[in-house]
Structure 1
């Protein structure tokens, strides 16, 4: 039995906001509840509602910039920077800039839509 798994066909999460989400490891792609790793591209002017997830989220910016609002503080990350946001923290993710933002998101435990708690 192999002690590794090479992901060549990530699960592409269906979206309606133009954002590309390719989950390489996690609940939807490998049935892994412990961690999720996704490659994402957020288009210019993209944003999503505030949320208070029940998991830690780590983000590493590959290209472009991404904005985070955490407890009313605005933080902008650029390529080569990363952030860790602790679970049960209210946060809003967005790309209010004029270029796409490419990044890697890691959630621990794995991303679970029922535990993200997006606001309406």
Structure 2
């Protein structure tokens, strides 16, 4: 048995908002509930409702910019920057800019729709 796993065909998560999510490791791809790693592309003008995830989320920006809104603070990250958002933190993710944002998201434990706790718009 090999002591490694190479992912060449990540799971493409179905979306309705134009965001491309390619999960390389996690619940959908490998059945791993401890960690998920996804390559994401958020189109210009994209946003999600506020959410309070039950997992820590690390984000590394590859290209473009991504906006994070907390209760009373707006943070914009650019290519080469990263952030860790602790679980149970209320946050809204968006890309209100003119160009797509490409980034890597790592969640511990793994992302699950049942644990993201998105609010209604």
Q: TM-score range by the shorter chain?
A: over 0.9
Normalising to structure 1: TM-score of the pair?
0.99
Cα distance in 1 between the residues matched to 2:17 and 2:71:
24
Structure 1 runs (4+) greater than 4 angstroms displaced: none
RMSD (Å), alpha carbons = 0.4
Superimposed CA distance per residue, residues 49-108 of structure 1 (whole angstroms, 9 cap, x where no aligned partner): 000000000000000000000222100000000000000000000000000000000000
Any idea what the Cα deviations from partners look like across 1:23-42, whole Å, max 9, x if unmatched?
00000000000000000000
Q: Give the TM-score normalised by structure 2.
A: 0.98
- Residue equivalent to 2:83: 83
Output the CA distance in 2 between the equivalents of 1:12 and 1:94. Answer: 20
Q: How many residue pairs get matched? A: 120
Gaps of 5+ in 1: none
Identify the residue that residue 2 of structure 1 maps to in structure 2. Answer: 2
Distance 2:7 2:57 in 1: 21
